[in-house]
Structure 1
C-alpha cells in the first residue's frame, strides 16, 4: 500500500478485529519533533508500536541534569497554565451556556481515574459538578457499554484528562460522554466515532488524535459523516504537514495558536503556533466550501484555538505507575514512572480540538452541521490570526499566517459562538 509520509503518526490494523472488517488505515511516518524542544509528549505515540495512532498532547517540560526532557510538575491549579476563566475570556464565551448538551470525547484505552480527576479539576475552578451520579458524565467502551473497559494506559490517560478538562473549561454546562476505544488502531477508533454520534444528546465529537494520510482514508470518512453532529479533529503537533482525520471533509480541522494576554481591546493576542499541522491533502478532494489557490485538495486547518505548550493550559491527571510513592514527581521527572501526579501544563492541538467541539455545543446549532463548512459562511465571528508560521512551504498561506484564511490557524479563533 502506498503511503504518503507527512506526519509523525501511526495507525493500522485492529487488535482483536478480523482483518477484513475495515481497511487498515493510514500508517506510520517518522517523527519530526514537536513545536518546541522544551516539550515532551504524553507517551501515547508508542514509537516501538508501528501500527497505532498518536494523540496530539504535549507537556511543557524542562531539561534535567542528565539531559532528559521532563514535564514540569507544579502541583498548583493557579500557577500551572491558562485556566477556564482565561479561555472563556479570550474566546468571548462568557455569555453562552451548553444547556445540558453533550460533548463526546473519543480516545483510546482507559483512564481509570477519569471521573475523579475531572471532579478535582472542576472543583478547583468552581465549576458545577459533572459526575456519573448526577448524569453529567458517562464513560463507555467503543460499543457504548459501561464494561468491559479497555486496558489502562498512562499516556492516553493524560490525553483523556486534557480533553475532559478543556470541555469543562469552555462549556461548564455541557454533559460529557467519554468513549474509550479498545486500542489506538483506526478500526477501533472509528467504531467509537459511530458510537459517540449515535448517542442521544451528543452535539459534537472531539478527536485529539490522527495519522498520516494514505490512499485508504477516503474509505474511512463515512464514520465522521453524521449530519447534526459536529466532529472536530486536531491538525497535529509536528508543524507543516497534513494528518487524517483532520483532512476529512466531514470534520472541522482545528489548528493551533500561541495565546497571550495583551493591552489591547480584546485583552489577548494570538499568533500561529509553530507546531500546528497544516497543508493540502494529497487524497481528500477540495470541498465545495473551500476555494484556495495553490491547493487542489482539502486544505487544513479550518479554525483554531490555543495549542502552544508555552502558553498552555492547566490539566489535572493522577493516573501513573508510581505505586503510591511519596516521591512520585521525582520518579516521573527521572523517567522511572509514567503518567502524571496532579497539575501539569499542557498544549498541542489536543487542546484546541475539544475547545472547538465545546463551542459548537455552546452554539446549539449543530442541526445545521454536516461537514466543516459552517465557519466559512460566518467568518466575521472569528478572531483573524495574522502572524506566525509552522514550517517551510515557500512562504505560502499553507504554512504562514496572514489576513483571511491560512493553513496553521484556518479562518481564525472563536469570537463568541457565531461561527459555529
Structure 2
C-alpha cells in the first residue's frame, strides 16, 4: 500500500529514504522536504535492500498545485490540472511540429501496466496529440527480453509507466514509444530491460528509478549502461541531497529536478532548484572526462534537470486498479522522460558518442537555474542552485534542443 504523507511527514520520509540511497554521512544532513503546499504519496514502495530500485514518482493527493490551471491559459480546450504539452513545450522552448518523427524513445520500468496503451490514448486525445498505438506502429510494449511474457501488474509502477509515457508524448508528440517492462525492480532485471531497449533500436532510453549505490555499480555500468550512440537518462531521486544509482553511472545523463513557475520575464517561465532533487558525489563511479566540477573527485549528480516539484506538477492519466484517472505527479520520474524526449527532438546521437557529454559542450543552450536548495552541504554548489553548474539542477534546463545534440 502506498503511504500518503503531508509536508512535515515528508521530511522524515526523505531522511529515511536518503539513509538507504545516499552514502552514510551525506544523507542525514541532506534531508529536504519534496513538497510545499500539497500532500503527496510515493507511487512505489521505497527499496529495503541494495540493488533493488524504486520509482521516483510522487502523486499529489491533496491540495492545489501551483500548476493546476497553467495549461488552460495556453490552450483553448478545458485541461486537467497540472502542466501538459503546451506548458512544457513553452517552458523549454521545444519544437512541436515534425521534430522527433522516426525517433524511438524507450521507457524502462518494472512490472506490468495492463492499461498502458489505452491510458496513453486518453492523454494524447485530451491534448490533441496524434494517436500512438500498436496498430499504427507508434507504440510497442515488451517484456524485459523483448517478448510478450509480461510480468505481474503493479499499480504503483503502473502510475510510473503512465507518467513516463505521458511526458515523452508531451515533449515529443511525433516520437515512437517503446515500453520495456522488467520482471521485478531488481537492478539486474531493469538492466536487462535497458539492454533489450537498445537491442530493439531505441536511441533514447529513460529510467525513472533508483536505489542505493553499491560496490556492484561498476559491474552494472559495463553490463547495462555502456551504450555508445544511445542517450540514456536517469532520474536523480526525490529525497533531497544524496546520490542514487543508476543516476550515478558515468554513462548516463543524470536528471535533477526543479520547481517550474510562470514568470513575467522574456522566457515567460522560471525554474528554481526543487528541494527533493537528488544530488551529490558518487562513492563508486568515476568522473566522466566531460565533467569538470572540482569538489567531487568522482561522478557528480546531476547533469541537467527539468520540472519535478509536485507543487508545480504535471498532468497524468492512469486508470489501472485504484488509479483515479487524471492525476498530478511530480518527482524526478517526470524530468527523466522529458529529457529523453528532448534528446530525441535533437536527432539520433552520432555513432560512438556518449550523449551525456552533449550538454557540457553547449552550456549556453540551457536555461541556468541559480536559486533554491535541496539540503545542507556546507553552502556548496552540490546542494545549492548557483550560476553555472550545480548538483540539483546540473547545467540547467532545456532551452530548445541544441544542448542535446551531438
TM-score over 0.5 for the pair: yes
The answer (yes or no) to whether the contact 1:203–1:229 under 8 Å persists in 2 is: yes
Q: Give runs of aligned pairs for residues 332-411 of structure 1, distance below 5 A.
A: 339-367=322-350, 369-411=353-395
Q: 1:33 to 1:294 in 2, by over 3 A?
A: closer
- Give the TM-score of the pair, scaled to structure 2: 0.86
Q: 1:133 to 1:9 in 2, by over 3 A?
A: farther
Q: How far apart are the structure 2 equivalents of 1:9 and 1:154? A: 23
The answer (yes or no) to whether the contact 1:360–1:417 under 8 Å persists in 2 is: yes
Residue number in structure 2 paired with 1:36? 35
The answer (yes or no) to whether the contact 2:50–2:214 under 8 Å persists in 1 is: no
Residue number in structure 2 paired with 1:291? 292
Q: 1:181 to 1:253 in 2, by over 3 A?
A: same
Q: Give runs of aligned pairs for residues 173-252 of structure 1, distance below 5 A.
A: 173-200=174-201, 202-222=202-222, 223-252=224-253
Residue number in structure 2 paired with 1:52? 52
Q: How far apart are the structure 2 equivalents of 1:357 and 1:297? A: 24
Shift in Å, 1:360:
0.5
Residue number in structure 2 paired with 1:86? 87
- Give the TM-score of the pair, scaled to structure 1: 0.83
Residue number in structure 2 paired with 1:329? none
Q: How far apart are the structure 1 equivalents of 2:187 and 2:194? A: 10
Shift in Å, 1:6:
7.8
Q: 1:412 to 1:47 in 2, by over 3 A?
A: closer
Deviation digits for residues 396-415 of structure 1, max 9, x if unmatched? 00000010000000000000
Deviation digits for residues 134-180 of structure 1, max 9, x if unmatched? 000000000001x2100000000000000000000000000000000
The answer (yes or no) to whether the contact 1:9–1:210 under 8 Å persists in 2 is: no
Q: Aligned to 1:297, what secondary structure does the other structure show?
A: coil
Shift in Å, 1:79:
3.9
| Structure 1 unpaired stretches of 5+ | 11-28, 64-71, 321-338
Q: How far apart are the structure 2 equivalents of 1:124 and 1:192? A: 30
Q: How far apart are the structure 2 equivalents of 1:8 and 1:33? A: 12
Residue number in structure 2 paired with 1:154? 155
The answer (yes or no) to whether the contact 2:32–2:241 under 8 Å persists in 1 is: no
Deviation digits for residues 205-252 of structure 1, max 9, x if unmatched? 000001111111111002111111100000000000000110101000
Q: What is the number of equivalent residue pairs in this alignment?
A: 367
Q: How far apart are the structure 2 equivalents of 1:282 and 1:90? A: 34
The answer (yes or no) to whether the contact 1:163–1:354 under 8 Å persists in 2 is: yes
Greater per-residue helix proportion: 2
Q: Aligned to 2:168, what secondary structure does the other structure show?
A: helix
Shift in Å, 1:43:
3.4
